[in-house]
Amino acid sequence: MSQSIDVDVGTPNDFGKMLDSKLNLDKLYGEESNFCRNHGFYLDPINVEGLVTLPEDYLTRVIYQKYDDLFIGFLDPHDAAISKYTRYSQNDKIWIDYAIRNKIINLSLLLQYIKNTNFMDYNEAMHVKNIINNDIQSNA
């Protein structure tokens, strides 16, 4: 296993087509690819439908980068953080802690972004808001 970073990649509109071409994606952009050796990360196709919770306007903040012949859109760290606060697995907590300590995310800004986020229900929205508020208090 390599020490490279996997970058989850998906499209909500055409995921079936992406999975059909997964073998080609692995060959061109997977963990054992020249792309990974050259850039230090590889693409891992995922089904984003129902997997991530994002603000409605997240597409306005996507950060685009060109790598060789590939144009990749990365989530703004704040949008990624909302998804991670919603799922809140152990790996998500580690990511969030790192992002806070290194000032990658602004917790007050997250409170603004969650106003435009469609959570599963009211309880989930309040749970995320409470965790963010606790992190604000802990890092004051």
Q: What is the pLDDT of residues 31-76, one digit of tens each?
A: 888 888 888 888 777 666 666 788 999 889 988 888 777 777 788 9
Read off the tokens for 91. Answer: 């790996």
Backbone φ and ψ for 43, nearest 5 degrees, come out as -95, 135
Rounded to an integer, what distance in angstroms lies between the CA atom of residue 58 and that of residue 99? 18
What's the average model confidence in pLDDT over 108-112?
Answer: 96
Where residue 128 falls among pLDDT bands split at 50, 70, 90?
very high
pLDDT at residue 2 is higher than 60:
no
55: DSSP letter? B
Read off the tokens for 14. Answer: 């055409």
Rounded to an integer, what distance in angstroms lies between the CA atom of residue 106 and that of residue 62? 17
Read off the tokens for 135. Answer: 């992190």
pLDDT of residue 83: 92
32: DSSP letter? T
Rounded to an integer, what distance in angstroms lies between the CA atom of residue 128 and that of residue 134? 10
